[in-house]
């Protein structure tokens, strides 16, 4: 894959993630808290919201592991169609952003915007 093709992959993924995180906000942001579902699940399972989120990620990692195993067994073209990969990869990236938000909230939002400006 050349640099131009790779840049297109990056741009495409960023747009998709941004759309997911903004459009799903209405579905998941109950009581004005975008992270509420993870907090509720953590309460339900008697664990922290970060672990609740991690368990969701594990589900997607497990699916990706299965997809990769299919490649290994059925080389060279024995893998699932792209939409399956696209969904799972996108979900993992989205969850990592939500994890970052949970961590920043827990730490009191220790000037995340300053760090972005410094880079």
Give 29-41 pLDDT, tens digit per residue. Answer: 777 888 999 999 9
Burial letters 46-72, b for 16+ CB under 10 A, else e:
eeebeebbeebbeebeebeeeeeeeee
Give 58-71 pLDDT, tens digit per residue. Answer: 999 999 999 888 88
CA 109 to chain centre: 20
Cα angle for residues 115, 25, 109 (degrees, 5° grid): 25
User: Which residues have C-beta within 8 Å of that of residue 21, sequence separation ≥ 6?
Assistant: 94, 97, 98
pTM above 0.85, yes or no: no
């Amino acid at each position: 894959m050349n640099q131009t093709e790779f840049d297109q992959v990056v741009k495409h993924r960023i747009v998709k993630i941004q759309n997911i995180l903004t459009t799903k906000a209405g579905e998941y942001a109950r009581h004005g808290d975008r992270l509420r579902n993870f907090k509720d699940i953590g309460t339900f399972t008697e664990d922290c919201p970060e672990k609740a989120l991690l368990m969701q990620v594990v589900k997607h990692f497990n699916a990706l592991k299965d997809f990769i195993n299919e490649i290994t067994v059925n080389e060279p073209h024995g893998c699932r169609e792209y939409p399956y990969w696209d969904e799972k990869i996108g979900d993992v990236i989205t969850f990592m952003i939500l994890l970052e938000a949970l961590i920043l909230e827990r730490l009191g939002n220790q000037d995340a915007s300053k760090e972005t400006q410094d880079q």
